[in-house]
Amino acid sequence: MTSIIRMIAAVAAVSSFAPAFAAGPGSVVPDAHGGVNVVLKQGVLRLQPMAADVIRVRYSVDAAFRGSHVPVFLNPSAHAQYTLKTSADTVRVKCGGLTAIVDRATGAVRFVDRTGKAVLAESPGQRSMTPITLAGPAPVSLYKVVDAFDLPAGESIYGLGQHQDGKLDHRGTEVTLEQVNREVAIPFLVSSNGYGLLWNDAAHTDVSVGAHVEAIPVAHLADSLTLFQARALALKWPTLSVLTRSIPRCKA
């Protein structure tokens, strides 16, 4: 069984906003803020180059992107030039040395470097946003958000904040991202394969690092979901997220 990194949270208020695109599934629509929108059978995927080698990826089930309450992103650079190539099977957005490839059939996104080597890949069919209601005196409508990424054999995962489980390598474990006593949640992980992943979400999130378990999310409101933001450097250690500088290789 292929291992995956699974992210589970509850975010994004359910709303009655009208869809922003009249185009049908498979259409590629230029975005007013730069980048492109790929219309899927369910929802819209937005790929937005932010700077050289930086691509932000967002997803909306109703095509209404309502901004972000997590102030971790830089404004798009005027120098974020990119090229767009489409085929019957894929949509490719290349920004510097990083290329994001959307599979038209599954909607899954994968990243490759300038040599075509795989950097990170979503697990096809794993991304979902399911409407739920948070019970209480004043019930709140949310989305339960799930996404997953392939985790190759032998890959170690570090980061995700400060936790009390004594683990440096989180592979085979589940990490809960929530600010509690002596626990510091930072939704950024680093891979031994040389990339980093920023999950742009301030809600309670359960991260299963190849643990093959299902978690029950407890969450706070957010306005929309940025799935992840990717950055590849012209080094052996590509990085995902504008917040991260190049990661030096450790010497034994």
pLDDT, tens digit, 9 for 90 and up, residues 108-136: 999 998 899 998 999 998 898 888 888 88
Residue 112 lies in a domain: yes
d(CA 107, CA 124): 7
Instruction: Indicate if the pLDDT at residue 240 is higher than 50.
Output: no
Residue 251 lies in a domain: no
Res. 197 pLDDT band, cuts 50 70 90: confident
Phi, psi dihedrals of residue 170, rounded to the nearest 5°: -85, 0
Residue 239 lies in a domain: no
- List Cα–Cα distances, 245 to 39, 121, 190, 200, 217, in angstroms: 32, 21, 12, 17, 31
Asked if residues 111 and 99 have their Cβ atoms less than 8 Å apart, the reply is: yes
Asked if residues 225 and 129 have their Cβ atoms less than 8 Å apart, the reply is: yes
Residue 249 lies in a domain: no
Residue 36 lies in a domain: yes
d(CA 204, CA 141): 16
Residue 42 lies in a domain: yes
Q: Walk across the sheet containing 90-95 and list its strands.
A: 83-86, 90-95, 98-103, 109-112, 118-121
Higher pLDDT, residue 226 or 208: 208
**Structure-token match 């040389």, residue found:** 194
- pTM for this entry: 0.75
Q: Rg (Cα) of the chain, in Å, rounded? A: 18
Task: Kindly report, residue by residue over 60-105, the tens digit of the pLDDT.
Answer: 887 777 665 545 555 666 667 899 999 999 999 998 888 999 999 9
Measured between its terminal Cα atoms, the distance across the chain in Å is 32
- Which of 23-32, 119-128, 129-138, 158-167 is predicted with the least confidence, judged by mean pLDDT? 23-32
**Domain tally, the chain:** 1
- List Cα–Cα distances, 202 to 85, 179, 184, 186, in angstroms: 33, 10, 12, 9
Tokens of 6: 């699974």
Asked if residues 232 and 241 have their Cβ atoms less than 8 Å apart, the reply is: no
Question: Which of these, 223, 202, 226, lies nearest to 14 by C-alpha position?
Answer: 223
- Which of 19-28, 177-186, 228-237 is predicted with the least confidence, judged by mean pLDDT? 228-237
d(CA 38, CA 247): 31
Domain span at 151:
4-231
| Residues ≥6 apart with Cβ < 8 Å to 23 | 29, 39
pLDDT at position 88: 92
**Structure-token match 């990243």, residue found:** 111
- List Cα–Cα distances, 233 to 75, 97, 205, 238, in angstroms: 19, 7, 28, 5
Residue 185 lies in a domain: yes
Instruction: Indicate if the pLDDT at residue 141 is higher than 80.
Output: yes
Q: Walk across the sheet containing 28-30 and list its strands.
A: 28-30, 36-39, 44-51, 54-60, 225-231, 196-200, 184-191, 157-162
Higher pLDDT, residue 227 or 157: 157
Residue 216 lies in a domain: yes
pLDDT at position 106: 92
Tokens of 99: 């290329």
d(CA 202, CA 211): 22
Res. 210 pLDDT band, cuts 50 70 90: confident
Q: Is 150 left (phi over 0), alpha (psi -120 to 50) or beta?
A: beta
CATH number reported for the structural domain that contains residue 75 in this entry: 2.60.40.1760
Higher pLDDT, residue 164 or 83: 83
